[in-house]
Structure 1
Amino acid sequence: MRIRSPRSLVAAATLSLGAALLAAPLAPSTAAGAPAASAPSAFRAAPIEWGRCQDAFLRQSGGKCGMLTVPLDHAVPDGPTIQLAVSRVAHKGSTYRGVMFTNPGGPGGSGRALAAYGQFVPGKVGRSYDWIGLDPRGVGESRPALSCDPRITRIGTRPSYYPTTDAILQAWLTRSEEYAADCGTSAAAALLPHMRTTDTVADFEVLREALGAEQASFYGFSYGTYIAQVYATLHPDRIDKLVLDGVLDPRGVWFDAQQSQNKAFEKAMGQFWKWAAQAHGTYRLGRTGAQVEKTYYRVLEKLTRKPVDGVSGPEVSDLTLSAGYGRYAWPEVASMLSEVVTKGTARKLRKAYVSSYPTTRGGDNDYAAYLATVCTDAPWPTDLDQLLADYTRQDRTRHFMAWPNAWFNGPCRTWPAAPGTPVEIATSDQEALLVNETFDGATPFAGALEVRRRFGGASLIEGVGGTTHAASLSGIGCVDNKIAAYLATGKLPKRRSGDRADVKCPAIPAPKPG
């Protein structure tokens, strides 16, 4: 399942569910305890030529765009190169606090729009930084961009996520294997051995050098928090300030992280079921959370047996999942399910799905780039019998996500690029401001506690009882004002004793129905 982008980008992001190539050498792992200073890059970074951005939001925010040249393989700095799409919103005023790198998550998320996020930091503090957005290698407007088969999520073409028959199981195994093979023969297949998190971190180092910055701050959302963790471990002397929102647990890269998500999303969806029950007068989905949950599975089964308006079960599952990512999606998801229940039509589901899953050229870019990182950052289990046994076991208590997540990551079992070894995130006195809501489904709260243990100088803000993923800069003053204070002065909330949050703040509130 995708480790998703921040709240204001989710509406535009895909509502996802979840020839042998030689792997490039990884940067050496840093042992816990004493991170070494970063070695100088052998690649000479060229300055970026800034020009007009095509994106209207960036233009309105004063952004400029350009391309950064980096090695395809950082172990061969004089070899072939690729280009990364970069954006910048320069600081305003006389106070300048340096460069702010950003990443929205994914893996596979386009990050250029995040250059405009400085304006959402309270007190105009964000305006004192140069905010830098980046489409990571293989993503978005970076060249080449990875695409394997844009028809992979075409509406009405997928069997049920739940393998209740041998035919369904075989269909998903075949789809997964064929997509992996298509990636191995795609036009951008040369990227596949070089799409690990360590490659992206090396790209950020080239970007820092191209910008002429001695250090950089990093505001990471979701998977972007893991990029920042690896960056701070491999290049500790290059980090100024770290804000990590929706904190990825470094112990679970990546198979274990998916299993943890399955459990966490059950809890997050439980809150949605209860909210929809309280709004029964509006949505007619059930008067209790348990009734709403049963209604969801009835809709899922009904449309799996006989699609309505071209919408089948997997589309229902994909779109309903967005309610597990954040409370902001609750009214829309409830409304889509309500239409099926009360009118027998699925026009809202169809419109949302077709918009979110383009089947035009390159429409699978974010999914292909996601797999290219997740399947190679660390070894993925390949024993089919063991995998099926694991998912069957999880399905007993984590029915909502276990099988959908299994097939979302299915191509990793036969991925055509060799896996590497994850960097061991160092235990150090690294300072950081961590933010996580209690019942975040995509990045469970245990991950934030783990990074707090490893970064001895970090402070953790908990959005108490919330389910929204990567929810900072959403107008919760208790959270956003502390981020502004840290970015302005470097002062973090006082660290408390014990294994717990240092500050408790209100979560993103539940929306009104309708």
Structure 2
Amino acid sequence: MDFRALVVGIALATAALPAIPAFADPVHECATAVSRCDGTVSVPLNWNDPSSERITVSFAWLPAKAGAKGTILANPGGPLPALPQIPIIQQTLGPVLDRQNLLVVEPRGLGKSSPLLCPGLNLMAPDTITACARQLGPRAQYFTADQVVADMNAVRRALGVPEITFYGNSYGTLYAQAYATRYPESLSAAFLDSTTITAPDGYALWPMRSRLDRLDLVCERSRACRALPGDASGTWTRLVAHLRAEPDAELPIGSLIAVVRNVQQPVFGRESSAAATAYLRGDPAPLRRLARVVSGSPQQPVEGAEWAGYLAHRCGDGSFPFDRDATAAERERQIERYFREERPLAPFTPADMGVTGAAALEFCVNWPTPRDNPPVPPRATRPAVPVLVVGGDFDTQSPAEVARALRTFPNAKVVRVRYGGHSLAWGGGPVGECVRTGLRAFLSDPAHRVPDLRCDAENYRAAGAFPRSSADVTAIPATGLRESERRTVSAVFATAVDATSRRNPYALLHARLKTEPGLRGGRVDFHDDTITLDQTRFVTDLQADGDIRLSVTGQATAALRATGADGRAHDITLTWQAFTAQERPALSGTFDGRPFSSPGT
């Protein structure tokens, strides 16, 4: 959603690039290495013109620890330097590298491969982009995916590797598709994580859209959220209209964009719909609390000379809502018209994102693309090799969109990871381990049989309401307690669950918090495995103090003192399994020393 800071991790050719003659590539000295060997190859700037300027491409060759069964060509995406990411690639592949060689080729223009550099470049400053393009001149048009995969193939041949299995992450999946369609005879299989898909013309798609559908997806899974009026996307549309009519200094519309953009993180996914509904009903506290977290989150810098290589790749490989051969002025008019007529950010506008014009949302407006160079040749045949694809619900492209885009690969299987995000095999928690297990099984098998991969990151249910007082809380069913006591337990439990949700293993922004104000008063402090409630109020008329401990398996145990509006205090202990996709988990504990239990639903 934050298209200006989108830097991580993402000739109408009729045939593949010319094949490299066998005699053109001498065997590289790294071919006989028994340990990591870093090397370079000299390649033409333009593979379609062998007499063009020569540039240097760097690579790393890591031979298998035992007898090699094959070779994995890996790219971590970006498009950013690949060689610095070798440790995380090794960690992801794990024991696969006992019997598989690893080859990582630095894409041209990045890192150690003839880098493109523009001192003073700032992707948020269009004039510096224009100046960079002018400085680099026409040679920059050859730092694109079609040329990168030719470089990769040259390194493969120089090492004497007959065929490779491609492991692509994020932008690396674009290289994988380009390689598959240009050098199919040397590809045995591919594993694609968080796929960059291409348009019919073969260029990479960079969609600009609000993705309110993510809110609907989360809400539809929750009985409590479904009970709210209307659908989640409609509620947010009404919320934006309300704030345009009645601005809130503590809730600028730009902060709403950030909340929607982060809905893949559990706290935002869990609370966004209920918080928006609460705001429209006159209770601003839950939504303002979310907005404070995103407003205070650090932003990745997008300036520096080295970003020139990123620009060359992304702009040269991409499909945008403007003509590739148009002038910068005409591109600006086209993209302004696109946002005005198509409204892909609805209910938001480019102005809501703090820019003066739609062109500021896409820095490639100011980067010339004079060459027809689709990464995937539009009419190229897709090889009938095994292709395993993993995609998360919250990725840039949904699993359904990825499946439609890759249906031209005869033996591709797309695995949906519910509630999954980007770079799934690199992630933490159970879903990261699950995806890595499937990746390793697939890459370790010489026949590349597709494993039965069922990974799921759904470990919460969206909230349905933010009660203001204990009277608004539904008393839990529990044996051994009176109704008023059950209501008190429910309010204390809601307070504990609210605090504990901020330590969900998939929560990134909230994981950085050391302390946070209670929703309606007090404070919540976060330690390694303990959450301390200090006069914390989730509802106005009940205060909780004490500690909540979280085990590595997610079991939560709380020892709390609850003080009501009448000043009476009760000692309450709670035990439950946190981070599960249940409407209400099973709960047990004590109320002033008396045990109780409540079944889950």
- Cα deviation code 1:73-126 (max 9, x no counterpart): 22333432223342343321x23122211122233454541465244346x224
Structure 2 residue 421 is matched with structure 1 residue 468: yes
* 2:214 aligned with 1:268: yes
Q: Which residue of 2 aligns with 1:431?
A: 385
Is the counterpart of residue 182 in structure 1 residue 131 in structure 2?
yes
1:362 is the counterpart of 2:343: no
Q: Which residue of 2 aligns with 1:47?
A: 28
AA aligned to 2:413 is S
Per-residue deviation at 1:139?
1.7
C-alpha deviation, 1:192, in angstroms: 1.6
User: In the aligned structure 2, how far is the partner of 1:48 from the partner of 1:329?
Assistant: 52
Superposed CA offset, 1:326-369 (max 9, x none): 548969x99xxx999459978x856712xx20545435653454
Give, in whole Å, the separation in 1 of the partners of 2:131 and 2:255. 23
Tell me if structure 1 keeps the 8 A contact 2:164–2:186: yes
Q: Does residue 410 of the first structure (1) align with residue 362 of the second (2)?
A: yes
Residue equivalent to 2:104: 133
Residue 250 of structure 1 contacts residue 425 of structure 1 at CA under 8 Å; is this kept in 2? no
Q: CA deviation at 1:217?
A: 1.4
Partner of residue 86, structure 1: 59
Query: Is contact 2:195-2:402 (8 Å) kept?
Result: yes
Write the letter of the residue equivalent to 2:437. Answer: N
Q: Which of the residues 205, 219, 235 maps onto 2:183?
A: 235
Q: Who is 1:389 aligned against?
A: 337
Output the CA distance in 2 between the equivalents of 1:225 and 1:292. Answer: 36
Structure with larger Rg: 2
Distance 1:132 1:239 in 2: 14
Aligned residue among 469, 489, 501 for 1:513: 501
Q: Would the alpha carbon gap of residues 88 and 509 (structure 1) be closer, same or farther in structure 2, given more than 3 Å must change?
A: farther
Mapped partners of 2:108, 2:72: distance in 1: 19
SS of aligned partner of 2:442: helix
Q: CA deviation at 1:209?
A: 1.9
Shift of 1:198: 0.7
Residue number in structure 1 paired with 2:50: 77
Change (3 A) 1:322 1:490: farther
CA distance, structure 1, for counterparts of residue 250 and residue 47 of structure 2:
48
Confirm or deny that 1:224 pairs with 2:172: yes
**C-alpha contact 2:60 2:105 (8 A) present in aligned 1:** yes
**Residue 408 and residue 67 in structure 1: after superposition, are their counterparts in 2 closer, same or farther (change >3 A)?**
farther
Aligned equivalents of 2:110 and 2:255: distance in 1? 24
Q: Which has the higher contact order (CA 8 A, sep 6+)?
A: 1
Relative to structure 1, the CA distance from residue 240 to residue 402 in structure 2 (aligned partners, 3 Å threshold; closer, same or farther) is farther
> How far 1:225 sits from its partner (Å)?
1.7
Residues 173 and 194 in structure 2, CA contact (< 8 A), matched pair in contact too: yes
Equivalent residue, structure 2, for 1:442: 396
Give the paired residue count: 431
Structure 2 equivalent of residue 144 of structure 1: 115
Q: Distance in 2 between matches of 1:193 and 1:401?
A: 32
1:374 has 2:318 as partner: yes
Q: Is the 8 A contact 1:248 1:443 kept in 2?
A: yes
Percent of aligned positions that are identical: 17
Q: Does the alignment pair 1:215 with 2:163?
A: yes
Considering fraction of residues, name the structure with more strand: 2
Q: Give the deviation of 1:251 after TM superposition.
A: 2.8
Residue identity opposite 1:131 in structure 2: L
Change (3 A) 1:406 1:228: farther
Q: Against the structure 1 CA distance between its residues 350 and 84, is the aligned structure 2 distance closer, same or farther, given a 3 Å change threshold?
A: farther
Give 1:291 deviation, angstroms: 11
Report the secondary structure of 2:421's partner residue: coil
8 A contact 2:123–2:302 mirrored in 1:
no
Contact 2:198 2:204 in 1 (8 A): no
Larger proportion of helix: 1
Is 2:45 aligned against 1:98?
no
Report if aligned partners of 1:102, 1:111 keep a CA contact under 8 Å in 2.
Answer: no
Aligned to 2:262: 323
Q: 1:381, 1:510 → 2: CA distance?
A: 47
Q: Provide the rounded CA distance (Å) in 2 between the counterparts of 1:202 and 1:372.
A: 16
Say if 1:482 and 1:504 are closer, same or farther in 2 by CA, change over 3 A.
closer
Over 3 Å counting, the alpha-carbon distance change for 1:216 and 1:205 in structure 2 is same
- How far apart, in 1, do the equivalents of 2:254 and 2:434 lie? 38
Query: Do 2:315 and 2:369's aligned partners in 1 also have CA atoms closer than 8 Å?
Result: no
SS in 2 for 1:468: coil
Match for 2:372: what amino acid? G
CA distance, structure 1, for counterparts of residue 131 and residue 250 of structure 2: 28
SS at match of 1:430: coil
Partners of 1:410 and 1:208 in 2: CA distance: 35
SS state of the match for residue 249, structure 1? coil
Q: Secondary structure at the match of 1:100?
A: strand
1:453 counterpart (402, 407, 414): 407
Structure-2 change in CA distance of 1:208 and 1:441 (3 Å): same
CA 1:139 to 1:350, structure 2 compared with 1: closer, same or farther past 3 Å?
farther
- Counterpart of 1:486 in structure 2 is 442
TM-score, with structure 2 as normaliser:
0.57
The code of the aligned residue for 1:505 comes to R
Kept in 2, the 8 Å contact 1:429–1:455? The answer is yes
User: Of the candidates 371, 382, 387, which is equivalent to residue 419 of structure 1?
Assistant: 371
- Alignment check: 8 A CA contact 1:15 1:322 kept: no
CA distance in 2, matches of 1:436, 1:135: 24
The gaps in structure 1 that reach 5 residues or longer are 4-12, 19-25, 51-61, 154-174, 280-287, 495-501
Distance 1:111 1:197 in 2: 17
Q: Which runs of 5+ in 2 are unaligned?
A: 226-230, 273-284, 461-499, 503-601
Mapped contact 2:146–2:373 kept (Cα < 8 A): no
Amino acid at match of 2:195: V
CA contact (8 A) 2:79 2:314 kept: yes
Q: Are residues 194 and 361 of structure 1, via their aligned partners in 2, closer, same or farther at CA, if it must alter by over 3 Å?
A: closer
Deviations 1:228-259 (A, max 9, x none): 12211111111122112223333356788234
CA gap 1:489/1:425 in 2 versus in 1, 3 angstroms? farther
Give yes or no for contact 2:204–2:317 (8 Å, CA) kept in 1. Answer: no
